Amino acid sequence: MRCMTNKYNIIFLCFLTILLISGCTENISVKGKVTYTDGEHLKFGTVQFHSETATYTGNIDTNGNYIMGAGGNRKGIRKDIYKVTVAAATNDQFGFPIPLIDPQYALTETSGLICDVEETTTFDIIVEKAAGTAQPKNGINRQK
């Protein structure tokens, strides 16, 4: 009988360990708005939160807002300290990308954006425009 009890204890401890390792933690809502230094908001692009173990992506909508989530679920992210990146570009008439924001915001090493997510968080982001570019109307860059 004692052998059977130990077997169930071991199974229970293994199950509990798997739950803890798999990250059964509460996801936290993170949202915000991305604007230029002049107050104008971006009309499209992506925001990414990077930690040691995961990357979460949120799309910037036409009002400059984003909501973070894993994959397509948009149900939040885990508590952690994140390096944040922002990307926004359009194409010229030949299909080549034209950045709308300073390229420094595309890399974790140079963006300078850090968000410590402990609870429901609003993380508004202010970026500089790329040199010599202007935000296109309705997300379309019209070349003449």
At residue 7 the predicted structure's pLDDT band, cuts being 50, 70 and 90, is low
Instruction: Domain ranges for the chain, please list them.
Output: 26-139
At residue 133 the predicted structure's pLDDT band, cuts being 50, 70 and 90, is low
Q: Does the pLDDT at position 130 exceed 70? A: yes
Report, as an integer, the average pLDDT of 12-23.
Answer: 48
Cβ-count burial of 41 within 10 angstroms (0-12 exposed, 13-18 middle, 19+ buried)?
Answer: middle
- More confident: 12 or 112: 112
Which CATH code for domain 26-139? 2.60.40.10
Pairing between β-strand 125-127 and β-strand 30-36 as defined by DSSP bridges: parallel
Alpha-carbon distances of 35 from 6, 39, 54, 144, rounded to whole Å: 59, 6, 25, 27
The per-residue pLDDT for 76 is 82
What's the mean per-residue pLDDT of the chain?
81
The per-residue pLDDT for 72 is 52
Which 8-state DSSP code applies to residue 9?
A: H
Report, as an integer, the average pLDDT of 2-22.
Answer: 51
> What's the predicted TM-score (pTM) here?
0.72
For 101, residues 6+ apart whose C-beta sits below 8 A from its C-beta are: 36, 42, 45, 86, 87, 88, 127, 128, 129, 130
- More confident: 2 or 80: 80
Quick check: helix, strand or coil at residue 27? coil
The encoded tokens of residue 49 equal: 């939160």
**Tens of pLDDT, residues 59-100:** 999 999 999 865 555 578 999 999 999 999 999 999 999 999
